[in-house]
């Protein structure tokens, strides 16, 4: 069945998930600040097919839809509040594609109280080259909580390149992803270097300390994080492509505000709520927060 879907925030993730939905025959409308007329999304290193894109830039062009996919960064949700309200009707389901663990908290002040919301953990390295043009790879995975809305989300993307699944313990999955994002995002944004920086003196120890705090706070929040996660995640960091970046690093390079609060501040905030000491995050978070200058580097 074809669904009418509004994608708010056609950035790296929004363009890629919009392309996956369009490939499945769904009617996708992008709500954007910058107009574009075509969509070219492909796997990294492969030629992307160019298709026409339906793009609106004004609130009065939005109508209540079957689905809204919020693909803005965590700190940008407030800025799309009017778009969310314009696109959400009584039967609309809202998918929140974000990193971090506060998907529902981030949107709840801006959507009708009874909106069916689906928090989405996205594991799809993606970059946007220009409006309408993005690439993803090497993998594209998403997971959502169990339930009818999660099932419906997965059905929208069935057969697409974005492999989506239900996770009974979705919260643990979101914290497991944060164990990737919190150390790597902070280290790359603070050093201004890609993943190879992890081999520079002292950097692995700093990453390990941030990771250990993330694990401790996640467990205090009820996430089930396996005993070996610290060693496994550190191994993944140390064996990553040295030229690989991440979205926090790309924001830093572009002079955009990073998701420091959703990905590192959250460890500080939730650690304090549980009485879990997070001394390294307490140093890293102010440094990340102070970075935003608005000027590309």
Ligand X SMILES: NC(=O)C1=CN([C@@H]2O[C@H](COP(=O)(O)OP(=O)(O)OC[C@H]3O[C@@H](n4cnc5c(N)ncnc54)[C@H](OP(=O)(O)O)[C@@H]3O)[C@@H](O)[C@H]2O)C=CC1
Ligand Y SMILES: CC(C)(CO)C(=O)C(=O)O
CB of 250 to ligand X, least distance (A): 7
Segment interacting with ligand Y, rule: CB under 6 A, options 34-42, 120-128, 269-277, 280-288: 120-128
Scan residues 19-58 and list those touching ligand Y (CB under 6 A). Answer: none
Q: How many CB atoms lie within 10 A of CB 131?
A: 20
- Between 101 and 225, CB nearer to ligand X: 101
Query: How many Å apart are CA 230 and CA 218, to the nearest integer?
Result: 13
Angle between helix 170-191 and helix 247-254 axes, rounded to 10 deg: 40
Q: Do residues 266 and 101 make contact, with C-beta atoms less than 8 angstroms apart?
A: yes
Which of 122, 178, 189, 268 touches ligand X by CB under 6 A?
122
Q: What angle do CA 196, 125, 137 make, to 5 degrees?
A: 100
Q: Rule CB under 6 A: is residue 164 a binding residue for ligand Y?
A: no
Q: Which of 14, 42, 125, 145 binds ligand Y (CB under 6 A)?
A: 125
Q: Which of 5, 69, 73, 119 binds ligand X (CB under 6 A)?
A: 73
What are the residues whose beta carbons fall under 8 Å from the beta carbon of 231, sequence distance 6 or more?
A: none
Binding piece for ligand X, criterion CB under 6 A, among 95-103, 151-159, 205-213, 227-235: 95-103
What is the nearest approach in angstroms of ligand Y to the Cβ of residue 181?
A: 5
Q: Of the listed pieces 120-128, 201-209, 233-241, 269-277, which binds ligand X according to CB under 6 A?
A: 120-128
What tokens were used for 291? 């970075």
Decide: is 278 part of the binding site for ligand Y (CB under 6 A). no
The three-class DSSP label of residue 121 is strand
**Strand 38-43 and strand 49-52: pairing?**
antiparallel
* Residue 177 annotated as catalytic: yes
Sign, Cα dihedral of 206, 209, 215, 220: negative
d(Cα 159, Cα 277) in Å, to the nearest integer? 44
Contact partner at residue 180 from ligand X, ligand Y, none, CB < 5 to 8 Å by partner kind:
ligand Y
Applying CB under 6 A, does 132 fall inside the site for ligand X?
A: no
Q: Active-site positions? A: 177
Residues near ligand Y, by CB under 6 A: 99, 123-125, 180-181, 246-247
């Amino acid at each position: 069945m074809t669904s009418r879907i509004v994608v708010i925030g056609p950035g790296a993730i929004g363009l890629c998930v919009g392309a996956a939905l369009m490939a499945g025959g769904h009617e996708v409308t992008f709500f954007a600040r910058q107009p574009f007329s075509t969509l070219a999304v492909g796997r990294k290193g492969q030629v992307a097919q160019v298709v026409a894109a339906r793009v609106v830039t004004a609130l009065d062009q939005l109508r209540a839809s079957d689905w809204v996919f919020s693909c803005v960064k965590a700190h940008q949700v407030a800025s799309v509040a009017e778009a969310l309200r314009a696109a959400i009707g009584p039967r609309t389901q809202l998918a929140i594609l974000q990193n971090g663990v506060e998907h529902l908290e981030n949107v709840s002040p801006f959507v009708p109280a009874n909106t069916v919301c689906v928090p989405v953990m996205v594991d799809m390295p993606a970059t946007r080259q220009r409006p309408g043009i993005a690439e993803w790879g090497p993998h594209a995975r998403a997971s959502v909580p169990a339930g009818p809305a999660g099932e419906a989300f997965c059905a929208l993307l069935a057969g697409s390149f974005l492999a989506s699944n239900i996770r009974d313990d979705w919260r643990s999955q979101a914290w497991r992803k944060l164990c990737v994002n919190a150390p790597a995002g902070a280290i790359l944004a603070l050093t201004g270097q890609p993943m190879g920086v992890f081999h520079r003196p002292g950097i692995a120890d700093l990453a390990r300390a941030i990771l250990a705090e993330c694990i401790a706070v996640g467990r205090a929040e009820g996430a089930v994080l396996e005993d070996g996660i610290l060693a496994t995640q550190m191994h993944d960091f140390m064996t990553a492509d040295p030229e690989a970046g991440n979205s926090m690093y790309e924001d830093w390079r572009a002079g955009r505000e990073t998701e420091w609060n959703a990905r590192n501040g959250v460890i500080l905030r939730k650690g304090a709520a549980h009485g879990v000491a997070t001394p390294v995050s307490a140093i890293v978070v102010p440094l990340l927060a102070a970075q935003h200058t608005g000027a590309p580097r």
